[in-house]
Amino acid sequence: MNDRYSRQILLDEVGEEGQKRLLKSTVAIVGCGGLGAIVASYLAGAGVGHLVLIDGDIPNISNVHRQILYSGHEKDSKSVVLKEKLAVLNPDVSVESFSDHLRKENINNVLTGVDLIMECTDDIMCKYLVNDFAAIEQIPLVYGAIYKYEGYVSSFMNSTEEDTHLRDIFPHPDETIPTCAEVGVLNTLAGIIALLQANEALKILIGIGDVLSGNLLTYDCLSNRQMIISIKKSWDQDLEEYFEASNYLPMDCSFVGELSIEGLMAQRDKFILVSVMSESEHQSIDDATFHNALLTRDADILKAADKPIVLYCKYGKSSKQLAANLINAGVDAELYSLEGGYQAFQKFKASN
As annotated, the active-site residues are: 180
Sign of CA dihedral 14, 15, 21, 23: positive
Residue 284's CB is within 10 A of a number of other CB atoms, namely: 10
Cα 158 from Cα 233, distance rounded (Å): 12
Return phi, psi of residue 180, to 5°. Answer: -60, -30
Write the DSSP assignment of 282-302 as a string of letters. Answer: HHT---TTT--EETTT-TTHH
Amino acid (1-letter code) at residue 224: N
In three-state form (DSSP H/G/I as H, E/B as E, the rest C), the secondary structure along 43-77 is HHHHCCCEEEEECCCCCCHHHCCCCCCCCCCCCCC
Residues 6+ apart with CB under 8 A from 199: none
HSE at residue 328, side-chain half, CA atoms within 13 A, is 12
Closest CA to 185 of 137, 217, 151: 151
Tell me the three state secondary structure of residue 33: coil
- In whole angstroms, how far apart are CA 243 and each of 222, 249, 272, 330? 38, 12, 41, 28
Residues 6+ apart with CB under 8 A from 278: 296
